[in-house]
Structure 1
Amino acid sequence: MEEKMKNKQPSLIEKLKRQPIYREKFLHTVWICWAFVMLGWAESLFGPTFPDLRMIIGESLETASWLVTVTSAGFLVGSAITGILYDKLDKLLLIIGSIIGTAVTIAAIPWCSYFWLMMVVKCLSGMLTASLDTGGNADIVYIWDTEAGPYMQGLHFCFSFGGMIAPFIAEPFLAIERNKNTLNTTDSAAYFENSSTEVPITLESIPLYMNNTMKLLDNGSVLLSQKMQTNSTVERMQVSGETAVQYSYLITAILVLVVVIPFSVMYYIRPADVVKIERITDEKDPTNFNELSLPARIMVISILSLLMIIYCGTDDIYAGFLMTFVLTQLKWSKSEGSLATSLHWICFGLARLGCIFLVRFVKTSKLMIVFGICVVLSFTGLLLSTIYNIKPLIWIFIGCPGISMSFIFPAMFTWTNENIVTVSGKMSSMFLMSASTGVMLFPLLFGYTMERFSPIWFLYLLLGQSVVWILLFSFTVLLTKCLLKQRTKTIEIKIPEQEPLNMNTIVENNYILKN
């Protein structure tokens, strides 16, 4: 009878009612997940609003791509700073400050009509979101340790859930498009200036008129003068009206700010009988990683960083440039572009929801290889359906990369924690610094190739990156099996001698409950 009672696992409700320590850990996790919903919302808002932000600052795609780069540079700096401060400052204060700063910078972005000013604000926004991202990931591993796998997948599902919502919030406030009209003429002596024909254009159409004489009118249209050739055609280009994306950014900022409330309550109303011990434990890594030679450790860490650089240079670029790709290559409307972005995030989020349960039954390394192969197949399908212009297949394959990439990022944390070295605050910072490096560098390459050659290079580069990633990860698995030896991970919790343990004291992971 006693053995049955011991083996019986209490339900979630029973744990929340009877175990204050578990309740604190669970609520802490819930608030971090809520923060990540808004973090995903805030970060994914940039993709569908990118064309309108270009209208605000009046820059080309190649130049405006620097906004992504400086955001990633800020993210890199913010990750590094947070990695240093995570173990030195109060973790709740660090998260509260990050949330407030993120809300302020998000609200300010669409009001920056000068390119340099928007770059500064985007850089600050990247630093503050990095602080929240780094702290949240490290907190999940810190709270749950070896049980962090499902919670990490759940955390990043919340991030992608926020990403699903953002395009729907952005779409009603995007600039309204007008239809294209075509004007044919056979009069070789026709001049637009004689007929006073006004041809309103967008920033995308300006390069088409570089050899013409243009006069910018007060209403934002252009008076175009051009000597026409016989049987020539002039198109009235697609026009974007006045944008209202500042309202979508304002809504986002307000909702981000609301997340401060539960963390503030946690900070000011902490249970007086709960004391958190800061891992004064004799904790061993899952392998003999720290016993390797310095060059070997540097090599392993460098490969892990490169994996994160390539993955995030694929994942973030796909979500961020998808709207631009469907507008320029596929000639879809902004509404269809927003729907395509939403489809990606919906598939991405639902797949992450499924991964929360899948990771309990299949080894992380096997899942990463399977999902990596699926990424390659997804981009191959999207490329072929685009080349042959099969619209139903394009819609199908737009969602497939999101499903395939959903598992990999959070799994990098848990796979490393289980197979290589304990993921501490500094290790989490290293991963996110690598991620921001990828997001910082790749937009320049994508912006250059898509504008100078063809928008189809968007898919060529994504396919190439995904092939390199799966090959590199397979090599990493083999390398770690050759270099590292697995060992049982043990945690020894030390109790202060001046307060001896009695029957009313409960010890669970890093918490002590004193009655």
Structure 2
Amino acid sequence: MEEKKRMENNESPVPYLRRTRTAAILLSSLCWGLGISIPGLSLLELQRQVGVSLQEITLSLTARSIGHLIGSFASGFCYDRIENHFVLASALFAAGTVGGFIPWVQDYNFLLMTMAIWGLFTGYIDTGNNFMTLGLWGKKAGPVLQAGNMLVAAGGLVVSLVVGPFLTITPDSPKGNLSDVMTSTVYNQSAEDLATLNITDYNRLAIQEDYYSDQIEKATSLIWIPYSIMSGIFILVSCMYFGLYARLSDRIMINTDEKDPAMKQHFTETNETLHFRILLLGILFTYLFVYAGNEAIFLGFLYTFAMTSDVEFSPQIASLLTTAFWGGFVLSRGVAILISRILHPRTMLIIDLSGCTLAALLLSLWGNSSGVVLFCGAILMGISMGSAWPAAVTWAERNVRINGKVTGLFLVALSLAHLLFPWIMGIIIAMYTIRSLMYFLLFLCIASFLTFTILQIVASKCRNIGNCENKSEKIYKIVAREMIDIRKEIYDV
């Protein structure tokens, strides 16, 4: 009955479905976390599946990043022109179908193409999650964004637990191939040992090598199980979005984001000029690019730094260090859901960037020589990074009008940073030493802080100018209206 009254009065049904749509957004964020984590954990399995070297199989991650970059850019135009639930439902269904097909690909070039297509659809999902959250909640989107990003990180943890039992090739095994262990017992023999090694022993080793190779080949096929689970979750969530699309497909209910009271209030309160929008978005893109580069470098090289620096952690301790970082990361995003209701996004960003800078300073000074400092710095970095990205998106929503193209622009900055900065960091490490990692990290943290300071100053100045222009326009209208009234009175006389 209440719903019919809303439709008769031409009111927005968004508040009535806000909880359902928010739950759908959170579930798609969990899907996004599952999707970005599973290829890295199954990389060695995919390497053996297509029969290429480790360096060649890493290009599959690059192909996925390029696809994500294209998807993030193209999706902005789609979300502005097509009903949002239909676009996101189609992207989830396509990503689930393509992702379930990956463990069956046997050709290397076809695998690269499949990963690129998968990244394309996941780019649509990432953009849709952020854009629909802002469209649904407006200025109150902070806690929902924090919850969504926490579920992305939780998805990575879930994948690490689910995929592990199905891995037959682990980083602990040399080159991920147990047959190499058998052959090394022959090729590492001295000349005297080879002279005494009879043909029977050699044949026995060859038979054992074939046996272990066959066993690995059979066990490798189990990787399709976690991929199928992930694919099923994607398709189930897509069905939920298709149901929402059917529910909102009425003429009155279509394009509900434009009728949302929160968005309507936001559009009327935002004082934007074209120059203000271009300038602010340009600086905001630079800030997100630099910050995301900081995140990509630390995530990509923390394990390598722990293994090759002077602390010389064992693989187990280095893995524990990575787990400690992710623990702080997830904890920070969970706490930020509550804190974002109290603190302004500007305050949260200042705290986050200060924490990142302090952690980078500690790591650059003592992280190479002290394991305790390395652990403390990694945990502090995880806590600081956890809420920085959603806080930045919330800050942007409060200072500039957000549409699909702007949300896609944010994720283009993220994709470019994750694509370029690890490559640049690899060149720097090759030219100098692994210690340069923390120095470059400190440089990026300081650059992020300075860029955000400039961004805040520009936003404040432009907002004041916009307010002054609006006040001048209101005064002009009042004076003009009074002049018209005076002229009418004179004419009547």
Q: Which of the five TM-score ranges fits, normalised by the shorter chain?
A: 0.7 to 0.9
Q: Give distance in 2, aligned partners of 1:380 and 1:444.
A: 23
- Aligned residues of 2:44 and 2:54 also touching (Cα < 8 A): no
Q: Give distance in 1, aligned partners of 2:365 and 2:226.
A: 35
Q: 1:270 to 1:401 in 2, by over 3 A?
A: same
Task: Find the counterpart in structure 2 of residue 434 from structure 1.
Answer: 413
Task: Find the counterpart in structure 1 of residue 231 from structure 2.
Answer: 253
Q: Structure 1 residue 139: deviation in Å? A: 0.7
Task: Find the counterpart in structure 1 of residue 5 from structure 2.
Answer: none
Match of 1:67 among 45, 60, 75: 60
Which structure features the higher share of helix residues? Answer: 2
- Aligned residues of 2:135 and 2:257 also touching (Cα < 8 A): no
1:268 aligned onto 2:262 = no
Match of 2:451 among 454, 472, 482: 472
Which runs of 5 or more structure 1 residues have no equivalent in the other structure?
Answer: 1-18, 184-188, 198-214, 223-238, 491-515
SS of 2:141 mapped into structure 1: helix
Q: 1:340 to 1:388 in 2, by over 3 A?
A: closer
1:369 aligned onto 2:369 = no
1:411 aligned onto 2:405 = no
Task: Find the counterpart in structure 2 of residue 344 from structure 1.
Answer: 325
Q: Give distance in 2, aligned partners of 1:454 and 1:248.
A: 38
- Aligned residues of 2:296 and 2:421 also touching (Cα < 8 A): no
- C-alpha RMSD of the superposition: 4.0
- Aligned residues of 1:76 and 1:436 also touching (Cα < 8 A): yes
Q: 1:260 to 1:474 in 2, by over 3 A?
A: same
Q: 1:99 to 1:378 in 2, by over 3 A?
A: same
Q: Structure 1 residue 399: deviation in Å? A: 2.9
Q: 1:355 to 1:465 in 2, by over 3 A?
A: same
Match of 1:142 among 135, 142, 148: 135
Describe the superposition over 1:239-261 as per-residue Cα deviations: whole angstroms up to 9, x where unpaired. 9x975544433332222222223
Task: Find the counterpart in structure 2 of residue 290 from structure 1.
Answer: 273
**Range with greater deviation from structure 2 (81-90 or 439-448):** 439-448
Q: Structure 1 residue 161: deviation in Å? A: 1.9
**Range with greater deviation from structure 2 (250-259 or 322-331):** 322-331
Q: Give distance in 2, aligned partners of 1:44 and 1:308.
A: 22
Match of 2:22 among 26, 29, 32: 29
Task: Find the counterpart in structure 2 of residue 58 from structure 1.
Answer: 52
Counterparts of 1:179-328 in structure 2, within 5 Å, are 190=191, 219=210, 245-269=223-247, 275-276=253-254, 277=256, 279=258, 284=267, 287-292=270-275, 297-323=277-303, 326=306
SS of 1:26 mapped into structure 2: helix
**Range with greater deviation from structure 2 (161-170 or 24-33):** 161-170
Describe the superposition over 1:28-71 as per-residue Cα deviations: whole angstroms up to 9, x where unpaired. 0111101101211221234444455455553345x555434332
**Range with greater deviation from structure 2 (31-40 or 107-116):** 107-116
1:172 aligned onto 2:151 = no
1:44 aligned onto 2:37 = yes
Percent pairwise identity: 22
Match of 2:380 among 375, 400, 404: 400
Q: Give distance in 2, aligned partners of 1:171 and 1:41.
A: 14
Task: Find the counterpart in structure 2 of residue 354 from structure 1.
Answer: 335
1:423 aligned onto 2:402 = yes
Describe the superposition over 1:268-287 as per-residue Cα deviations: whole angstroms up to 9, x where unpaired. 34597973545276964655
Calculate the TM-score normalised by the size of structure 1.
0.71
Task: Find the counterpart in structure 1 of residue 368 from structure 2.
Answer: 387
Figure out how many residues of one structure are paired with residues of the other and give that number.
427
- Aligned residues of 2:429 and 2:436 also touching (Cα < 8 A): yes
Q: 1:452 to 1:143 in 2, by over 3 A?
A: same
Q: Give distance in 2, aligned partners of 1:369 and 1:445.
A: 27
**Range with greater deviation from structure 2 (28-37 or 42-51):** 42-51
Which structure features the higher share of strand residues? Answer: 1
